[in-house]
Amino acid sequence: MAEQVQFRLEAQVPELEDLERKGLFSPREIRAIVKRRTRLEYALERRISRKEDYLRYIEYEVNLEALRRARKDKLFVGKTYKLSLSDYSGLRRIQNVFDRATRTFAGDTALWLQAPKPPACFALLVYCYCLLAPRITSRAIQKLPTNPTLWVLAANHELHVNNNTTAARGLFQRGLRLCDDSQELWAAYHLMEVEYTEKIRERRKVLGIGAEQRKQNNESVKEAENAGDPEEDNAFDGDVIKLPELLQGEVAAFREDDDAEQPAKKRRRTERELVTGVAEALSNEDDSNLFLNGAVAVVVYNAAIGKIPSDLEFRKRLLKNYAPFVPESPAAEAGRKEGYESLRRDFADSADARGLIACRHLVAKKPGTLEWLAAVRETSAEFAQAVNDFDTSEMHDVRCAFLRDVLEEGRKEPETRKYLSKMLSNAYAEALKSGKASSD
């Protein structure tokens, strides 16, 4: 044990000498660092290892590295600074201690999730952690393949850090093969597909792809030509980039020129590839494009409820994934419609499900506005119909709970508060009259 500790301490000598040479730490501070690391190393080599010792070591090294960077920024401000051994050794030591901890406690999920995340202001360590994260998550998944949180972390890293949707989708699908009953994994996968569909729609809008955008672009060009302003002839239509359309005759001419210029053996594009490229450039209309209409997200939704069919809260969680894109996105509206239809089909006798369906009008409505008040009226009318269909105490409770919530949201406006208070009083009166009022 002592030999291993001594070996690790001796390996730190060049780094400590570099710190002293640069003037970042005094000789007295260097001795204090060696003394503290010696105690921490011996704690890790005890007969029965403790996770707290590893975490304490990592915390000390992170704080020490933060102090080194702060002093470096102060001493070398406005001066040329050359990177050396001490600029990398601290980060490597943090990684090394964490690797030793995960080898010792490989089955501890909390330890994997407590990867040494740096302070937000610590730019170099943040960059280092981003490089380390794929290796951490891959090793964690190897040790704990049935933990859905690790699959979500790995997929989100590919999605948000590497901007690799294909890799993220592959990780989600691999995780679902092992954890097909995980609500967390299904919800994250569904959210990714919803967001990706909206991202593609926005890109097509900016590039001017699609029937509606091409129509707007053509109208803008005609208006500019009629106006006779040469500056407007070259102007973009807002944030839209007008793309040239490739006609069939131009395709044939391009193919003939390519045949004449290049030998057959060196030709890079076959006729099939050319036709495919033109088909992609002149893509299908938005109404007939299943992907742009949210079909992939709907497939994921149906697969999720097929694996978890009886959980209403899970359905509610999936429907919330569409909320940020309503009502501007037709794909999100189509996905929500499919979701509410599944609620009517699978939870026909559930008061909570009927309440969730009725409240769909309030999604993306700002409380206190005229649109919100109109949505409250529509929702209240659906609740009244639901009470007529299912005259149960649970249905009355859900209706009154909804009216209490909207009354709290619209309390600032006196007229709105008065109107909603009357609606709530009428709901209470109907519940008492029917004898279905609960003690609450």
Comparing 152-161, 257-266, 272-281, the range with the smallest average pLDDT is: 272-281
User: Against a cut of 0.85, is the pTM above it?
Assistant: no
Provide the pLDDT for residue 254: 45
| Helices (H), ranges, 228-329 | 230-233, 248-261, 271-281, 295-307, 312-320
Question: d(Cα 246, Cα 278) in Å, to the nearest integer?
Answer: 7
CB-facing half-sphere around the CA of 148: CA atoms within 13 A: 15
Distance of CA 391 to the CA centre of its chain: 41
The domain limits of the chain are 2-161, 348-434
Q: Are 15 and 48 in contact (CB under 8 A)?
A: no
pLDDT at 21 over 90: yes
Tell me the pLDDT band of 111, cut-offs 50, 70 and 90: confident
Instruction: Give Cα separations from 150 to 122, 130, 143, 321, 418 (angstroms).
Output: 25, 16, 10, 21, 50
Res. 415: pLDDT tops 70: yes
What angle do helix axes 165-178 and 148-156 make, rounded to 10 degrees? Answer: 170
- pLDDT band at 316; cut points 50, 70, 90: very high
Tell me what pLDDT residue 285 has: 52
CA distances from 183 to 116, 179, 303, 335, 434 (A): 27, 9, 12, 18, 39
Q: What percent of the chain has pLDDT over 70?
A: 76
* Residue 438, amino acid: S
- Position 233 scores a pLDDT of 47
Q: How confident is the model at residue 216 (pLDDT cuts 50, 70, 90)?
A: low
Q: Give residue-wise pLDDT tens across range 184-215.
A: 999 999 999 999 999 998 888 888 776 555 56
Identify the weakest region by mean pLDDT among 25-39, 146-160, 238-252: 238-252
